[in-house]
Amino acid sequence: MTGQVWQGTSLLAALSNLRYELVPVAALYDEVRNLPLGARVTITSSPKLGIEHTVQAAENLAGMGYAAIPHLAARQVSGMAQLSGFIDRLVTAGVTDTVVLAGDAASPAGPFASALDLLVAIESIGRPFRDIGIAGYPEGHPRIAASDLQQALLAKAAYATYIVTQMCFSANAVKDWLVETRALGVHLPVYVGVPGKVSQKRLLAMASKVGVGDSLRFIRRNPGNMLRMMLAAEFDPEELMRDLEPLLSEPYPAVGFHVYTFNAVAATETWRLNLVQRLSHEPVEHGILD
């Protein structure tokens, strides 16, 4: 894409409509109050904390006035009865959006071994959610071959309305993946996952609390980025978001950002507001994605 010209307003628009990912630990409710009411808040689900924490947090956040988006981890659901119960609770709470993942449990708690299994089961209940997100892996998965990821994405896309990616650090890797995804025949809108304004201490602490997952995979796969984060004390997403900005326009299907906050919501929101202020006063610039 050498030579693509972009307008600086697209990043500003994306920053006004972020998705914020939080972990359902005790501090969640204090942290989320740093966000405006109506903000889209996704809630993780890990084997260590359990899916009940996720569903309960989604009910509570919806009741507080946030657009709660629970992660439903297939390998943590014991069966159709439990799934139906969770869905009934979420729909009653006003939840209209969910992200369906396989999850990191070593073995399934019931008949759902993959995200596709759970998507099919949810479909059989009668499309209870307006929107369903599925996972994308621009920077790969440590245990799944790239060809298998492609085939799984193609199968899952039939049941989804959007894709949210893993936490990414390479704009070029995201660009290549978006091109491949569209060539595969998947045209769903994509929210690119990026870290929030998070300290390396918070990142490591939250990773150990929630267990294995994308955060720990990032640390293992990206020692260079981890070293930079440690030297800087915290990660600043601005440079990465500016690099990703060209992908928010055609011919790419990226539509916004999914921010992995690790519950550092106050710092992330202060950073966002400051960047919005600066961008609103910047002249229109031109940029090139290599």
Q: How confident is the model at residue 146 (pLDDT cuts 50, 70, 90)?
A: confident
The candidate with the shortest Cα–Cα distance to 45, out of 57, 61, 33, is 57
| pLDDT on residue 6 | 34
Name the residue type at position 28. Answer: L
How high does pLDDT run on average in the chain? 86
pTM of the model: 0.87
Tokens in use for 16? 């006004």
Q: Give pLDDT tens digits for 183-201.
A: 999 999 999 999 899 887 7
CB half-sphere exposure, 206, CA atoms < 13 A:
26
Beta bridge partners of 72: 100
Contact 169, 240 (CB under 8 A): yes
Beta 190-195 vs 254-260: how paired, if at all?
parallel
**Contact by Cβ (8 Å): 218, 283:** no
Residue among 260, 201, 278, 211 nearest 75 (CA): 211
Quote the CA–CA distance of 187 and 241 in Å, as a whole number. Answer: 22
Q: What is the pLDDT averaged over residues 100-106?
A: 91
Domains and CATH numbers, the chain: 9-279 (3.20.20.220)
Residue 102 has pLDDT above 50, yes or no: yes
- Which amino acid does the sequence have at 213? G
Q: How many CB atoms lie within 10 A of CB 144?
A: 12
CA distance 102 to 286: 40
Q: Rounded to an integer, what distance in angstroms lies between the CA atom of residue 133 and that of residue 259?
A: 15
First to last CA, the chain: 6
* pLDDT tens digits, one per residue of 198-214: 887 766 665 554 433 44
How confident is the model at residue 204, as a pLDDT?
Answer: 63
pLDDT bucket at 243, cuts 50 / 70 / 90: very high
